[in-house]
Chains A and B, each alone.
Chain A
Amino acid sequence: SAVISQKPSRDICQRGTSLTIQCQVDSQVTMMFWYRQQPGQSLTLIATANQGSEATYESGFVIDKFPISRPNLTFSTLTVSNMSPEDSSIYLCSSRGLNTEAFFGQGTRLTVV
């Protein structure tokens, strides 16, 4: 199994600022993903983080708002840019090896004031 460390675990940010969330996996994995989970809601995929190339974004999510980096097979970052209160949510990092189960980080609870 993979162990995923995600930080920060929570943050309160001013509107208009940006927050970068880090995700570290303890082993090399093929795929890394970023999800958003609104309170009481399901997990919505933001993007697939591709190693060494631009992330693949889902409909409704754009690179300017959610830039993602993945410099190697074990690390990725998600930035939430120019934040507004609507960005308040839990952001989850996930990793998955080829044809294996997906694991999740503990999440980052973001509150924008």
Chain B
Amino acid sequence: GENVEQHPSTLSVQEGDSAVIKCTYSDSASNYFPWYKQELGKRPQLIIDIRSNVGEKKDQRIAVTLNKTAKHFSLHITETQPEDSAVYFCAASPNTGFQKLVFGTGTRLLVSP
């Protein structure tokens, strides 16, 4: 089955810096890769996703890149703000069958003013 690894587990940056979180996956059948943000005590919320037919996707300060050959994908947050502080999870899913999401271990991002 699918296995998703995520690094780093914690990331501290200064406000205005960029943050990069990396994930690798094992199952070549996976073709959908979402990123979720989870604030303390809240449900995970989708912030951006990418499908395997695309190499990069941007949404304002957030971007995701995908390297299918190497089976890794990354989240890039530019101009970080204190409200970006949260736990971020990557996930992988096939677009066949049950389309279940397998999550990475999470990255706790702390943005200091």
A99-B95, A101-B34 known; A43 and B44 CB under 8 Å? Answer: yes
> Could you tell me how many residues of chain B have their Cβ less than 8 Å away from some Cβ of chain A?
20
Q: In the complex, which residues 69-113 of chain A have their Cβ closer than 8 Å to any Cβ of chain B?
A: 92, 94, 96, 98-99, 101-107
Binding site for A on B (CB under 8 A): 1, 32, 34, 42-46, 49, 89, 95, 98-106
- Most chain B CB inside 10 Å of its own CB: which residue of A42, A98, A99, A104: A42
Query: What is the bound-complex CA distance between A43 and B49, given in angstroms?
Result: 17
C-alpha spacing A112/B106, complex, angstroms: 25
**Subset of 17 A-B contacts with CB under 8 Å:** A31-B100, A41-B105, A42-B89, A42-B104, A42-B105, A43-B89, A44-B103, A45-B101, A48-B100, A92-B43, A96-B101, A98-B99, A99-B32, A101-B34, A102-B46, A103-B46, A104-B45
Q: With an 8 A cutoff between CB atoms, is A56 at the interface?
A: yes
The 10 closest A-B pairs by CB, nearest first: A104-B43, A43-B103, A48-B98, A42-B103, A42-B105, A42-B106, A101-B46, A106-B43, A104-B44, A99-B95
